[in-house]
Amino acid sequence: MRTVIVYESMYGNTRVIADAIGRGLGPDNQTMVVPVAQAHPELLDGADLVVVGGPTHLHGLSRAATRRGAAQEASKPGSGLTMDPGAKGPGLRDWFTGLGQEDTAGAAFDTRLKGPAMFTGRASKAIARLLRRHGFILAVKPESFLVTKDNHLRAGEEDRACAWGRQLAGHAAGQLRMRPVS
């Protein structure tokens, strides 16, 4: 199975989760993990599964203003934050505007603070909605991975992402077997 994982990450947490999902998909899958700035639409050609994830900013997907705000926060002395190397460039919202219609399995994830989604927001719901709008068939429900108030992954989240990748591989493989042959 050929899988492409596209992620947006400001401080590196979402990248770590994307990499862990890729490891969880296992060695039997050809998996490519790419930051959104490098995820050209033709990269999806021939993919059996596309997994998309990003950080939750102000209850949803990032915008240019929230990405600038994240960069400003990281530049403050003593913030303890470092910008992810792939943080420059467009975000997922921009990426989706240039994406055509696909007919493949998809999955959505996000990183966010712990708490009820009605208070923290959940970018994965918007990502899932955009995936469906572009013709993807969701293999599993959107998933959230949690960060602390000081923007670090909570203990155990990387392992949980790896386990989610294993689960995702099973669901996506089942969808591939059920697809009509053309």
CATH value at residue 86: 3.40.50.360
Q: Range of 63's domain?
A: 2-178
Between the CA of residue 22 and those of 69, 76, 114, 136, what are the distances in Å?
29, 32, 23, 19
The pLDDT score that the predictor gives to residue 176 is 53
In contact, 33 and 22? CB cutoff 8 Å: yes
| Segment 90-120, tens digit of pLDDT | 899 999 998 988 889 999 999 999 988 888 8
Q: Residue 21: pLDDT above 50?
A: yes
pTM over 0.95: no
In contact, 165 and 24? CB cutoff 8 Å: yes
The larger pLDDT score, comparing residue 7 to residue 150, is at: 7
Conformation bin of residue 156: beta by default, left when phi > 0, alpha when psi is -120 to 50: left
Average pLDDT for 43-64: 91
The pLDDT score that the predictor gives to residue 61 is 87
Domain count, the chain: 1
Residue of 42, 38, 43, 50 lying closest to 8 (CA atoms)? 38
